[in-house]
Chains A and B, each alone.
Chain A
Amino acid sequence: MSLLAISEIVTGYGPTIVNRNVSLTLAQGEIVTILGPNGAGKSTLLKAIAGLVRPRAGSISFDGADVTGLPADIMARRGVVLVPEGRKIFVDMTVEENLRLGAYSRKDPDAVEADFATMLAFFPILATKRRDKGGSLSGGQQQLLAIARGLMTRPRVLLLDEPSLGLSPLLVKEIKAIILDIGERFGASVLLVEQNAGLALAVAARGYLMQNGRIVVSGPIAELRDMSLMRDLYLGGVAQAAS
């Protein structure tokens, strides 16, 4: 049985419909990606799963329970945690405070301290910058902090929205290694939204391709990679834009 199951979700803002009848699943320990061009509705879908946007129709179930429409703070407590697009670091607070905020709802102080030490060991740059304000970090460092802050919540599902956005190829490589490690080290399944197909195809086992708010193709990554449709829809578009 899948850990997270989205069924026929519809989302929107005001009169605009963003996602139409989206369904997807995520199993325990899996890394799954949602690919698609800018404006396809990927971020809104993640926000709906995380509880920041209330779905208009459809259902979300997590760990066998119906969690449709629960607010973000309850979803985070249950173990579904979004690392939002653009990092959204608390810029006026220190690196340490940012990390500790991730553990806000946890009631196991000893394990929180252990996790805090783990994060500093796993992300050495955060240990170096521990007392610095979040806003003084570079984009890449902020992304690492955002992921570490998300992990401090001890998520069972980590939703990553465009972690590679605006990062150098070297940093993207680092992020890639971290995402591959999340399942084993922290026991979380990952739902990764990306425009950077290279990263997504390298880490995920399965993928969904989203266009105009709908899932148009889904399947194992190897199949997606070869699909001419995907090349036309998405990779082709990127290649054209780059040339």
Chain B
Amino acid sequence: MRAVDIFIQQILNGLSIASVITLIAVGVTLIFGLTGIINFAHGEFLMIGGIVTWLAVSAGLGFPLAAVLAILAVGLMGYILERGIFRFTLERPTNGFIVSLGLIVVLQHVVVLFWNPNQKSIPRPLTTVWEVGGVRIASVRVMVILITVAVVALSFRMITASRYGRALRASVEDRDTAALMGIPVRRYITGVFVLGSALAGLGGALLIALFPITPFTGGTMVMKGFAVALIGGLGNIYGAVAAGLILGIVEGFSAGYGFSQWTDAYSFVLMILVLLFRPHGLFGGTSGPRMAS
């Protein structure tokens, strides 16, 4: 196999994992941008998306339906957690962050309690492997990348072009002034939690399509997702997507040249380098919501 073939394959592998991480990073950055809350339990949201997918597939449903169920279930979970817990921490986002640390333990152990701590996997939803001029391309990886691209593009379109997106951006810039425009900011906060959670649910479905997961998979994934969000500039969803792309290419590139044992370190090395030289991320972040004076 030629070096260039390995290279293309590894880039595809890197991008497919980076897709899942990008879905987390977009959720983390959206929620932070509007509320100032860094939700570290977002990785557990992803893990639960994977568990729901596993349960649904094990019950005989097809992967597409299982993924939709994961999106709905985790979206609903986001709604319940925002209404039940996070909305009481809006005035002090640090409390929201601490609550999210507690949620990590609770969510992990609820899953362990009901479904044991062992690895869970589903049969690959797509098994075809294309051979194009010596390059072997697993269709399941292409599927993960394409779904992510489609979902992210749709989210961008909503945020840039629609009236709701405009109001969301205004709320991210200045919650109080947005309220003066008649924008029901609290409802947008709930909406962002639901959207961010639903994206994590999708991420979980895509992850279990690629690899087996355990109830503890969320931890590393959210660390990487958070690193990507920071690299792109916390609160900046364009930045999160661009940083996810960069990470995918870097991880793939390094694996292709025999440094795969370092794969998990790249996101953090990148994060440290970026924060040293550009503390607000590559693309500039927000400083969190401006509070009532």
Chain A residues within an 8 Å CB radius of B5: none
A50 to B180, CA, bound (A): 8
Q: Are B169 and A73 closer than 8 Å at their CB atoms?
A: no
CB contact list, B149-170 vs A, under 8 A: 163, 166-167, 169-170
Chain B residues within an 8 Å CB radius of A102: 181
Rounded to whole Å, the gap between the CB of A71 and the closest CB of chain B is 7
Assess whether B177 is interfacial by the CB under 8 Å rule: yes
Contact bitstring A23-57, B, C-beta under 8 A = 1, else 0: 00000000000000000000000000011110000
Task: Kindly specify which of B36-44, B182-190, B246-254 makes contact with the partner chain.
Answer: B182-190
Assess whether B106 is interfacial by the CB under 8 Å rule: no
Q: Are B177 and A88 closer than 8 Å at their CB atoms?
A: yes
A128 to B76, CA, bound (A): 46
Chain B residues within an 8 Å CB radius of A73: 179-185
Rounded to whole Å, the gap between the CB of A96 and the closest CB of chain B is 10
Chain A residues within an 8 Å CB radius of B166: 93, 97, 100-101, 104
Chain B residues within an 8 Å CB radius of A82: 180
Give the residue name and chain of the B residue nearest to A71 (CB): B179
CB contact list, B176-206 vs A, under 8 A: 176-185
Chain B residues within an 8 Å CB radius of A72: 176, 179-180
Rounded to whole Å, the gap between the CB of A21 and the closest CB of chain B is 23
Q: Are A101 and B181 closer than 8 Å at their CB atoms?
A: yes
Assess whether B276 is interfacial by the CB under 8 Å rule: no
Q: Are A92 and B182 closer than 8 Å at their CB atoms?
A: no
Q: Are A104 and B167 closer than 8 Å at their CB atoms?
A: yes
Q: Are A101 and B174 closer than 8 Å at their CB atoms?
A: no
Chain B residues within an 8 Å CB radius of A104: 163, 166-167, 181-183
CB contact list, A144-191 vs B, under 8 A: 149, 153
Chain A residues within an 8 Å CB radius of B181: 73, 76, 101-102, 104-105, 149, 153
Q: Are B179 and A92 closer than 8 Å at their CB atoms?
A: no
Q: Are A101 and B292 closer than 8 Å at their CB atoms?
A: no
Contact bitstring B79-111, A, C-beta under 8 A = 1, else 0: 000000000000000000000000000000000
Contact bitstring A81-109, B, C-beta under 8 A = 1, else 0: 11010001011110001001110110000
Chain B residues within an 8 Å CB radius of A52: 176, 179-180, 292
Give the residue name and chain of the B residue nearest to A134 (CB): B173
A82 to B179, CA, bound (A): 10
Q: Are B292 and A76 closer than 8 Å at their CB atoms?
A: no
Give the residue name and chain of the A residue nearest to B173 (CB): A90
Q: Are A93 and B180 closer than 8 Å at their CB atoms?
A: no
Assess whether A77 is interfacial by the CB under 8 Å rule: yes
A50 to B176, CA, bound (A): 11
Chain A residues within an 8 Å CB radius of B167: 101, 104
Rounded to whole Å, the gap between the CB of B181 and the closest CB of chain A is 5
Rounded to whole Å, the gap between the CB of A161 and the closest CB of chain B is 11
Which 3 interchain pairs have the tightest Cβ spacing? A105-B182, A76-B182, A72-B179
8 contacts between A and B (CB under 8 A): A52-B180, A72-B180, A84-B180, A88-B174, A88-B176, A90-B173, A101-B178, A153-B181
With A90-B169, A104-B167, A153-B181 given, name 20 new contacts (CB 8 A): A52-B180, A53-B292, A71-B179, A73-B179, A73-B183, A76-B180, A77-B182, A84-B176, A84-B177, A84-B180, A88-B174, A88-B176, A90-B170, A92-B169, A93-B169, A93-B173, A97-B166, A101-B181, A101-B183, A104-B166
